[in-house]
Chains A and B, each alone.
Chain A
Amino acid sequence: MKLSIYTKILSRQLITKWGRFILASGGIMVGIWAIVLTTSLSTGVLGTITTALNSQASAREISIFSREDGQTSFFNPGAGQAPKFVALGQDDIKKISAKDPNIIDIQPDLAIANGGLKTVLDLTGKADRCYNINKLSTGETDKNAQPKPIENPEKTKEDLAKCTTLTFSSFVFESLYLSKKDNWLGQTTKPAQNEIVLCFKCDDLGQKLGYKEPKEMLGQSISLDFVFAPNLYKPGTTYETANLTRQNKINNTNRTAKFKITSVIDDRQDSFLAGSSSYMDIANYYQTMRTNNPNLNDKDFGTLQVTGFLKSYDSLASSKEILANNKLLGFSILEGILTGVTAFFAGLTVVLSGFGLIAMIASIFGIVNVMAISVLERQKEIGVLKALGARNWDIFMIFLFESILLGFLGWLFGVLLAVASGLGIAKLFNLYSSNNPDWQKNLAGLNIKEFNPSFSWWLLLGCLILAVVVTAISGLAPAIKAARQNPVDVLRSE
């Protein structure tokens, strides 16, 4: 028999017995509904979280170290001792960005603020990055900037309390721009050596300088005193993190430098967690160090930590691998969190989909039953078709197709139900979220306002295959029974 005849017989059967088809496919429908709904919701939520974390610049920052022992894990398998690091030079930084196209911005990090080790934090407590504001000038009329710079800076905490520090966090430019771009004023590209990006509320800068609106600062100039020089690490030399403060202090006296304010971050609405920061090119550091130590050249400016910024969070693993191949250690603080979140949702999906699978398995009995009834009801039809020359195979296929149709219908209705309920749930969530601004704050500044379920083609296709396979298996025995039926029964009138 030709395929078109199978479908003709099947479609007529569907038209006359549609009620039964719908009832019999109910189990498959519930199963597919549960699987598609839970998977689409959890992938949707996960996708939203990943996107949120991705736009959360810090998720895409990768801290790069070179361990003396060549290991590529941050944690020392030995004991509570901090590992020894080898300082990386300018050439190393260039090499890293050349080898990995996924690292779209990279810069040395002088304070190792991201390391998470106690010794490192002690070191940053000494505030290697304290800048004193001298004055802010418009070029024509100078404003009397507050407060005055301290005269003879000392490297003690008491002195630091007196100086107004500008916070230059470990953000690489791309990272800072991405996380603040909604409130970014002025030039959006990386500032040149004599240019600077300032935040408005951070360090109470705007208020101290007497500005009401961030945009008033744009295009003006600011003079900064470099009070402290950072530790200078010689590229290729090993340093023990425990002793960093005693190593390689270089001579530095105050040096004033003038910057054009090319961009201002309007951070007035920022939550506590979404901290802001000013940004300047690291070359300004080197510049001031070279001024006071003329013997230094670019090659001497090493760093223990390099911060790279990834094109996307997804490329973290591949970037780590490239680094490991070059005996470098790549580390992302958010990696662990995201791995945990992913695992949680994957687990949740498996458990909830499991219920769907159970529903489908239970529906096998129903389908076998319905198909057995169908074979019984159509004994005469089977006999007639056989008397007209149909092969056993044809009869088998007619009934197999019929049970597969049950799977297809169950899948279709299940998917429709899942799409409707998934979109409904998302709509409810999004409505709740938009009416409750507090909720958004609760999400740790991730700024998740809404999510949408994700119905990927592989999920729908996978479920279709599952439904068809389950119903085909269920229909096998009744179809074989039908195929084997003796056609002689047609001769009996009743």
Chain B
Amino acid sequence: MLIQLKNVTKTFGTKKNPTIALKDIDLDIEQGSFSLILGRSGSGKSTLLSLLAGLDKVTSGQIIINGQDLSQAKAGKLAQYRSSIGIIFQAYNLLPNLNVVENIQMGCWASGKTPDDNYVNELLTQFGLTHRQHANIKTLSGGEKQRVAIARSLIGRPSILFCDEPTGALDKQNETQVTEILQKLHQSGLTIIMVTHNPEFKSIATDLITIEDGILSTSKPNN
């Protein structure tokens, strides 16, 4: 099993007056799966994703990824884990002081690695960004920004790709484009875990994870 959650609870706020975001969750995610995390706004989807991506720590319970317990990991180990995965945000989160190609390269630079130039060019071509590679981030369209963000998440050749509503801010046309990219990535063997409100993804997903009032249930898409 690639990812295993055991009795994971996450609360915010003070001990006396806690907001319980996730309660006693158990979850298994297989290598090569395309899992969607579904649920109403405020149900705890982003919270779950941030725990899986090593951006936050559990209040109690265990997250075991590739046999390694994230809940026990020190800051250095967590950083190392984050450098081994890819992550895409709804708000793109590109660095405005760097241009397109530098933003992509930052996917390696941040963890002290040297990006593979051929792979950078390959991604630029694949995502139709070659002619804009030296452009200022502020001048890009939403779809272009998200493609840069996807390229950045892929440049370090991640083992898992986490996405938090990657098409949430995109129009129909760009949404379709991003969906196709992600589908291809999954077909090439990448494990993808995605938070989304978009029902279209159900057609390409392998697993559905639904959160309701902090409680989690899993199912298979009916296709």
- Given A389-B79, A389-B80, A392-B75, A12 and B97 contact (CB-CB distance below 8 Å): yes
Measured CB to CB, the closest approach of chain B to A481, in angstroms, equals 15
Q: Is A385 located at the chain interface by the 8 A CB criterion? A: yes
Q: Is A2 located at the chain interface by the 8 A CB criterion? A: yes
- Given A486-B56, A487-B55, A385 and B110 contact (CB-CB distance below 8 Å): yes
Q: Is B49 located at the chain interface by the 8 A CB criterion? A: yes
Residues of A within 8 A of B93 (CB): 380, 383-384, 387, 490
Rounded to whole angstroms, the CA-CA distance of A486 and B95 in the bound complex is: 18
Q: Is the CB of A12 within 8 A of B110?
A: no
Interface string of A143-180 (1 = CB under 8 A from B): 00000000000000000000000000000000000000
Residues of A within 8 A of B94 (CB): 384
Q: Specify which of B91, B97, B112 is in contact with A2 (CB 8 Å cutoff).
A: B112
Interface string of B115-157 (1 = CB under 8 A from A): 0000000000000000000000000000000000000100010
Interface residues on B, range: 20 to 34
Q: Is the CB of A387 within 8 A of B82?
A: yes
Residues of B within 8 A of A1 (CB): 109-112
Residue of B nearest to A494 (CB): B91
Residues of B within 8 A of A384 (CB): 93-95
Q: Is the CB of B82 within 8 A of A389?
A: yes
Q: Is the CB of A9 within 8 A of B97?
A: yes
Measured CB to CB, the closest approach of chain B to A377, in angstroms, equals 11
Q: Is the CB of B55 within 8 A of A490?
A: yes
Q: Is the CB of A389 within 8 A of B55?
A: no
Residues of A within 8 A of B49 (CB): 491
Q: Is A326 located at the chain interface by the 8 A CB criterion? A: no
A-contacting residues, B87-113, CB 8 Å: 87, 89-91, 93-95, 97-98, 102, 106-107, 109-112
Q: Is B206 located at the chain interface by the 8 A CB criterion? A: no
Rounded to whole angstroms, the CA-CA distance of A381 and B98 in the bound complex is: 11
Residues of B within 8 A of A2 (CB): 109, 112
Q: Is the CB of A387 within 8 A of B55?
A: yes
Q: Is the CB of A491 within 8 A of B50?
A: yes
Residues of B within 8 A of A13 (CB): 97
Measured CB to CB, the closest approach of chain B to A101, in angstroms, equals 59
Measured CB to CB, the closest approach of chain A to B82, in angstroms, equals 5
Interface string of B157-174 (1 = CB under 8 A from A): 000000010000000000
Q: Is the CB of B91 within 8 A of A493?
A: yes
Rounded to whole angstroms, the CA-CA distance of A34 and B200 in the bound complex is: 68
Residue of B nearest to A385 (CB): B110
Q: Is the CB of B75 within 8 A of A391?
A: yes
Rounded to whole angstroms, the CA-CA distance of A13 and B50 in the bound complex is: 28
- Given A389-B156, A493-B90, A488 and B55 contact (CB-CB distance below 8 Å): yes
Measured CB to CB, the closest approach of chain A to B185, in angstroms, equals 18
Q: Is the CB of A488 within 8 A of B109?
A: no
Rounded to whole angstroms, the CA-CA distance of A391 and B77 in the bound complex is: 9
Rounded to whole angstroms, the CA-CA distance of A15 and B96 in the bound complex is: 12
Residues of A within 8 A of B90 (CB): 493
- Given A9-B97, A12-B98, A16-B97, A491 and B55 contact (CB-CB distance below 8 Å): yes
Residues of A within 8 A of B83 (CB): 388-389
Q: Is B199 located at the chain interface by the 8 A CB criterion? A: no
Interface string of A285-307 (1 = CB under 8 A from B): 00000000000000000000000
Q: Which of B55, B79, B156 has the most CB of A within 10 A?
A: B79
16 contacts between A and B (CB under 8 A): A15-B97, A16-B97, A381-B95, A384-B94, A384-B95, A386-B55, A388-B83, A388-B152, A390-B110, A486-B55, A487-B82, A488-B50, A490-B55, A490-B89, A491-B164, A493-B89
Chain B contact residues, CB within 8 Å of chain A: 46, 49-50, 53, 55-56, 75-76, 79-80, 82-84, 87, 89-91, 93-95, 97-98, 102, 106-107, 109-112, 152, 156, 164
Instruction: List 16 extra interface pairs beyond A381-B95, A392-B75, A491-B50, CB under 8 A.
Output: A5-B109, A5-B110, A13-B97, A16-B97, A384-B94, A386-B55, A388-B82, A389-B84, A391-B76, A392-B76, A392-B79, A487-B56, A490-B55, A491-B55, A492-B46, A494-B91
